[in-house]
Structure 1
Amino acid sequence: MSWPMLYPIAAVLLFLLVSQKSRKVFLASRSPLSKIPGPWYASWTTMHLRYGFATGKVWKLAESSHKKYGSIVRLGPRQVWISDKESMKKILVSVDLPKVAMYAEISRDRYNPGLFGEIRPEPHRRLKKFLSPAFTVAYIDKLEVLFEQCVRDLLQKYQTALDVARFGDVKCPAIETDFMEDLHNVALDIMGECSFGKGFGQTNPQKEAVIGVEEVIWKSIPRAIFDGLAKRYQNVYFKRFFRAFGINIEMDWPAQMIMAIDKLVQGRKQVVDVEQKRPDLLQHLIDEGKNPSNETKMSTRQIVDQMSEILLAGSETTSGTIACLFLEIARNPEVKKKLLASLPVRSTHDPIIDSREIRNDPAYRYLNACIKENLRLHPIASEMGRRTGKQWVNLMGYDLPPHTVVSASYRELHRNGEFWPQPLRFWPERWLEGDEMEGAPEPDMAAYYPFSGGKHSCIGINFAWAEMRMVAANFLSRFDIDEVPGQDVDFRQFITMQFTTGSWKTVIRQRSEDN
Structure 2
Amino acid sequence: MPFPWWLLKTKKTTFGLALVVTLLVAVFRKINRPPSHLRHLPYISFYTFFKAIIKDITIDRFSKDIVLPVMKRSPGAFVCSTVGYWGIMLTDPIAIKQFLMKPDMFPKAEINQGQPGTLIHRFVGGANIVMLNGTDWKRHRKVAHSYTFKVRHMKLTLRHSSVPQIVNPAFNRAMPIRLFGELTQQLFQAMDCTSSVDVLDVVTRMTLDTIGRAGFGFDFNSLADPANEWVTVYNDVKAALMDPFFLVCPVFDTTLVNWFPKRAQKHQQMTRFLAMLDTIIEAKRHHLETVEEEENRDLLTLMIESEQEGQATLTNEELRKNLCIFFFAGQDTTAFTLSFMIYELAVNQALQDRARQEAIEILGDASSDVLPSAEQTKQMTYINAVIKETMRLHNPVLNTTAREGQVYIPKGALVCADMSDLHRNPLVWHDPYRFDPERFLPGGEAERQPAGSGWTWAPFSNGGRICVGMNFSLAEQRVVLSMLLRKYTWTLPKDSIHRDGLVTNGLAFGIISTSNLKVDFKPRY
TM-score (norm 1): 0.74
SS at match of 2:292: helix
Residues 21-77 of structure 1: CA deviation (Å, up to 9, x unaligned): 88x959x888342222235xx4xxx57767878999796757644322223323358
Instruction: Tell me the equivalent position of 1:135.
Output: 171
* 2:216 aligned with 1:216: no
Query: Matches of residues 91-490 of structure 1 in structure 2 within 5 Å?
Result: 91-94=99-102, 97-105=106-114, 106-108=120-122, 112-116=126-130, 118-128=131-141, 129-136=165-172, 139-141=173-175, 143-158=176-191, 160-161=192-193, 175-205=195-225, 216-231=228-243, 235-239=246-250, 252=267, 254=269, 255-271=271-287, 272-275=289-292, 279-285=297-303, 298-299=315-316, 302-344=318-360, 346=365, 349-359=368-378, 361=379, 364-391=380-407, 393=408, 400-433=409-442, 442=447, 444=449, 446-485=455-494, 486-488=496-498, 489-490=502-503
The match for 2:522 is: 509
Structure 1 residue 126 displacement after superposition: 1.9
Partner residue of 2:511?
A: 497
Could you say if the C-alpha distance between residues 431 and 443 of structure 1 is closer, same or farther in structure 2, counting changes exceeding 3 Å?
farther
Residue matched to 1:37: 42
For 1:197 and 1:484, the matched residues in 2 are separated by 38
* Matching residue's letter, 1:132: N
Shift of residue 243 of structure 1?
Answer: 8.6
Q: Could you tell me how far apart the structure 2 residues matched to 1:193 and 1:29 are?
A: 45
* 2-structure distance, mates of 1:417, 1:327: 24
Distance of 2:109 and 2:133 partners within structure 1:
10
Q: For 1:420-458, what per-residue CA distance to the aligned partner results, in whole angstroms no more than 9, with x for missing partners?
A: 112122111222235xx6xx6755373111211122211
Residues 249-301 of structure 1: per-residue CA shift (max 9 Å, x gap): 998461432343344334333323223656222234556679xxxx875235x
Q: Mind listing any 5+ residue stretches in structure 1 that lack a counterpart?
A: 1-10, 163-174, 207-214, 394-399
Letter of the 1:239 partner, please give it: P
Given that residues 90 and 96 in structure 2 are in contact (C-alpha distance below 8 angstroms), is that contact kept between their aligned partners in structure 1? yes
Tell me if the contact between 2:99 and 2:106 (Cα under 8 Å) persists in the aligned partners. Answer: yes
* Displacement after TM superposition at 1:498 (Å): 3.4
Contact kept, 8 Å, 1:372 with 1:431, in 2: the verdict is yes
Q: RMSD value over aligned CA atoms?
A: 4.1
Measure the CA separation in 1 of the matches of 2:325 and 2:201: 20
Post-superposition offset of 1:179: 1.2
Greater Cα offset, 279-288 or 126-135: 279-288
Gaps of 5+ in 2: 1-15, 115-119, 142-164
The TM-score with structure 2 as length reference comes to: 0.73
* Stretch of structure 1 that moved more, 258-267 or 480-489: 258-267
Q: Give, in whole Å, the separation in 1 of the partners of 2:247 and 2:336.
A: 23
- Residues 444-498 of structure 1, C-alpha deviation per residue, up to 9 Å, x if partnerless? 3731112111222111001101111000001101111111232244223366633
Aligned partner letter, 2:491: D
Percent identical pairs in the alignment equals: 20
Distance change >3 Å, CA 504–CA 238, structure 1 → 2: same
Q: Check conservation: 2:491, 2:519, Cα contact below 8 A.
A: yes
Structure 1 residue matching 2:505: 3-state secondary structure: strand
Q: Does 403-412 or 218-227 show the bigger shift?
A: 218-227
Q: Per-residue CA shift, 1:77-112, capped at 9, x if unaligned?
A: 853222122222222225762233222224317772
1:324, CA displacement in angstroms?
1.0
Query: Is the CA contact 1:140–1:462 (under 8 Å) kept in the aligned structure 2?
Result: no
1:212 alignment counterpart: none
Quote the Cα distance in structure 2 between the aligned partners of 1:256 and 1:325.
35
Indicate how the Cα distance of structure 1 residues 342 and 216 shifts in structure 2: closer, same or farther if over 3 A, else same. Answer: closer
Note the C-alpha offset of 1:499: 2.6
1:217 alignment partner AA = E
Task: Give the length in aligned residue pairs.
Answer: 446
Kindly tell me: are residues 202 and 226 of structure 1, through their superposed partners in 2, closer, same or farther at Cα, counting changes over 3 Å? same
Q: Is the 8 A contact 1:38 1:65 kept in 2?
A: no
Letter in 2 for 1:432: L
Over 3 Å counting, the alpha-carbon distance change for 1:263 and 1:409 in structure 2 is closer
> 1:414, CA displacement in angstroms?
0.9
Do the aligned residues in 2 keep the contact of 1:49 with 1:58 (CA within 8 Å)?
no
SS at structure 1 position matched to 2:213: helix
Contact 1:151–1:471 (CA under 8 A) maintained in structure 2:
yes
- Rounded Cα–Cα distance in structure 2 between residues aligned with 1:378 and 1:133: 29
Distance 1:358 1:145 in 2: 11
C-alpha change, 1:330 and 1:234, in structure 2 (3 Å) is farther
Give the residue type in structure 2 aligned to 1:305. K
**Comparing 74-83 and 181-190, the one that deviates more:** 74-83
- Sort the Cα spacing of 1:80 and 1:125 in 2 relative to 1 into closer, same or farther, 3 A: same
